[in-house]
Amino acid sequence: MSRMTPFSSPLLLGFDAMEKTLERLAKTGDSYPPYNIERLSAADGKAERLRITLAVAGFAESDLDVTTEENQLIVRGRQTDDTEREFLHRGIAARQFQRCFVLADGMRVIAAELKNGLLSIDLDRPEAERLVRKINISVKD
């Protein structure tokens, strides 16, 4: 028995990768670090932008890594334990994280900024050209 998915229609061709991405997203359950995604209104005729803000208190710029791989934005944080300090109580753990965001085709990262324990990453999607192409039909005898 075959499994029915939203992409099972014979009219949707080449969406296998998107289906796998959706399955992978459904399996992720880690909620650290917390984040916001906001839509920034377009100004001066520019394309609409998105901003992802992650709460990364305690992380320095050198502890954070923001990269894009294929269609993913990957944010990694690595803190190391300070062995020279003696804690009487340790409620703030040094921890690592990796947070992945799947980007739609054409999305690009404009900038990343760390301020007051918040890492903000701005993205935009330039207006795509409308491309209409005539396909020639060959006739074979």
pLDDT tens-digit series, residues 19-53:
776 666 666 666 789 999 999 887 666 677 899 99
Q: Which residue ranges form the domains of the chain, and what is each CATH number?
A: 30-80+93-122 (2.60.40.790)
pLDDT in tens, 68-109: 998 889 999 998 777 788 888 988 777 899 999 988 888 899
Q: Compute the chain's Rg from CA coordinates.
A: 22
Three-state secondary structure call for residue 120: strand
Give how far the C-alpha of residue 37 lies from the chain's centroid of Cα atoms, to the nearest Å. Answer: 10
Model confidence band, residue 61 (pLDDT cutoffs 50, 70, 90): very high
Sign for the pseudo-dihedral over CA of 30, 70, 80, 120? negative
- With 80 as the cut, is the pLDDT of residue 16 above it? no
Longest dimension (CA), the chain: 88
- With 60 as the cut, is the pLDDT of residue 2 above it? no
Burial of 54 (0-12, 13-18, 19+ CB in 10 A): buried
Indicate the pTM of the whole model.
Answer: 0.70
